[in-house]
Chain A
Amino acid sequence: MADVLFETGIAFLALALAGALAHRFGQSVIPAYIVAGVVVGPYVPTEVAGVSLALVTHGEFVTTAAEIGIVLLLFFLGLEFDVSYLLSQGRELALLGSVDFLVNGAVGVALAYAFGLGPLGAVFVVGIVFVSSSAIVTKSLTDAGWLANPESRTILGTLVVEDIIVAVYLAVLAAVVGGGTLAGAATSVAGSFCFLAVLALVAYYGSDHVERVFDVGPDELFVLRVVGVAVAVGALALSVGVSEAVAAFFVGTAFSTTDLVERIEHLVTSLRDVFAAVFFFAIGLDTDLRVVAGVALLVAVAALATTASKLTSGYAGGRLTGLDPRRSARVGIGLLARGEFSLIVATLAAASTVPAIRETVPPFAVGYVLVMSILGTVAIAREGVLTSRLA
């Protein structure tokens, strides 16, 4: 018991230190958390000056906490999901989403084939390279003071469509990975969508009841109820082969139209951030830098190609929503960062039955996210240099 507690303590301290460093240098915490996991995890670096650095193993606690992190990340995505916004901006969002998905998805497919990962590999790579990180982008926009500018509406609108595509994509992917054969996968996808459809309907029509059932006085009882439902529904989904992340997303949407949103944001956000940090840390624990070095070429080519494609799709999206050239360029720059979703896709790839995918895709995703999260944050901070000629 003391061992587990000790490892957990080291894990949290490593996260705290990494987070503080990232903050100090104006970087996103996500790459820092991954690096923290790499440093104290079982792979290189394993020692420094004779002192062992293999301090934390990927035990049951880390696995469970990381899983709760994924559930809470997607729960919040659902919580902030606004159907009326979606309906009122439908045409524009559909346009933004299609440009974004087609341009970046095509690059993903090309990358997967160029590096011999085949059709299933392409499905994974598309997911990893296409979705921008809502967490990093929103945080960076706030820090850079862009939120009140017109381009941020296009950027955040694109993120909203990406979130929907991700929800559908993860639901399909989780079912495909679990299904095995093609027929099995088809059944699994169908079953998964039935489950999610029921969940979505319950969430939609149950909102009024949600408000009553969850409106309890003491804060701790409220938090326990919310987290309890999100995790339990996620677990139920997982037990029938449905993505727990997408299930949690729909649980979040059930709360999104109630007056409880502000209270949840106020009380549960820090809990989400702690568990999400463990999720990124767990990714780091599983990362063998030597393996990442083995896919360095793929990471480099992917980083270049998808930076170009995101800048292109963002610029096109900006022009389509009536922004001037400089603001349109900012849309692309704003969307460069990839993060949590790419890593959730990577955890699914790690469970794949196909060896080539299991061994190549997760380290690629980690290397790619490390590069793109830092690149995305720096690009927003240095935007003036990049776009001044367009002004």
Chain B
Amino acid sequence: MVIHEVDVPGVGKQYEVATSGETRFVVIVHHDGRREIYRREGPDADAEKLFDLDAATAREAASVLQGTDFRPLDLDDVEVPLGDAIMEWVEVPADSPVAGETLAAAGIRAETGATVAAVQRGAETLANPGTDTVLEPGDILVAIGSRAEQKALQSLVATGEGETA
């Protein structure tokens, strides 16, 4: 997607977003914080003003557009979705006995009870890896499980021996 930004002298800045098709979505941000929203049917069409928002309303509207969930977060409740499970980052050492094996063959789930939610490999993140994902030395496993399961996983990755919780 391309957003064109131009100065509107004495007024503020104009942002033009090319949406699918010819229609453009134009936002003018005034120096005083006001935002005007226009729609243009095509590059040569006249702009049609849709909304006039003050700065505060514009910010709220923007978070709606971003899809941000608004419910205030109560810190005491943060751990509830995981129950007594915690999330840990476990690195696969270079000499790990499970390196080169798939998640299934290494028996991570079966032996330790911990679940691998994602694998970070360099700059890449493999989210929700399948049981056939092959582990490589240097991988960082994002694992969910109880403290005991986490401990078993660390042991499995390091020594090949999982102490089942």
Q: Which residues of A contact B (CB under 8 A)?
A: 80, 82, 85, 134, 138, 142, 145-149, 152-153, 156-157, 159-160, 261-262, 265-266, 269, 324
Contacts and interface: CB of A to CB of B under 8 A. Distances in A.
Contacts of B28: 147-148
B26 A80 contact: no
A199 to B, nearest CB: 21
Contacts of B8: 147, 152-153, 156
A134 B8 CA distance: 13
Nearest to B32: A265
Contacts of A82: 7, 9
A266 B46 CA distance: 30
B33 A262 contact: yes
B38 to A, nearest CB: 4
B48 interface: yes
B47 A138 contact: no
27 contacts: A134-B10, A138-B11, A142-B11, A145-B38, A147-B8, A147-B11, A147-B14, A147-B28, A147-B36, A148-B16, A148-B26, A148-B28, A148-B36, A148-B40, A148-B47, A149-B47, A152-B8, A153-B6, A156-B8, A156-B9, A156-B11, A157-B9, A159-B9, A159-B10, A160-B10, A265-B31, A265-B33
Contacts, number: 58
Contact of B49 (A85, A134, A145, A157): A145
Contacts of B48: 145
Interface in B26-53: 26, 28, 31-33, 36, 38, 40, 44, 46-49
Nearest to A88: B7
Main SS at interface, chain A: helix
Contacts of A145: 38, 47-49
B9 A160 contact: yes
Q: Which 4 pairs between the two chains have the least Cβ-Cβ distance?
A: A148-B47, A148-B38, A145-B49, A148-B26
A192 B7 CA distance: 32
Contacts of A149: 46-47
A148 B26 CA distance: 7
B142 to A, nearest CB: 39
Given A80-B31, A153-B8, A156-B11, 17 more contacts: A80-B10, A142-B11, A146-B47, A147-B14, A147-B28, A147-B36, A148-B16, A148-B26, A148-B28, A148-B38, A148-B40, A149-B46, A149-B47, A262-B32, A262-B33, A265-B33, A266-B32
Contacts of B32: 262, 265-266, 269
- Classify chain B's interface size: 20 to 34
Interface of B: 6-11, 14, 16, 26, 28, 31-33, 36, 38, 40, 44, 46-49
A196 B20 CA distance: 51
Contacts of A142: 11, 36
A156 B12 CA distance: 11
Nearest to B46: A149
A85 B5 CA distance: 12
Nearest to B48: A145
A269 B8 CA distance: 18
B128 to A, nearest CB: 43
Contacts of A80: 9-10, 31
Contacts of A266: 32-33
A295 to B, nearest CB: 31
Nearest to B6: A153
A219 to B, nearest CB: 15
Most A C-beta atoms less than 10 A away, residue of B10, B14, B28: B10
Contacts of A138: 10-11
A82 B11 CA distance: 11
Contacts of A160: 9-10
Contacts of A152: 8
Contacts of B49: 145, 148
Contacts of B6: 153
A80 B38 CA distance: 23
A80 to B, nearest CB: 5
A145 B46 CA distance: 9
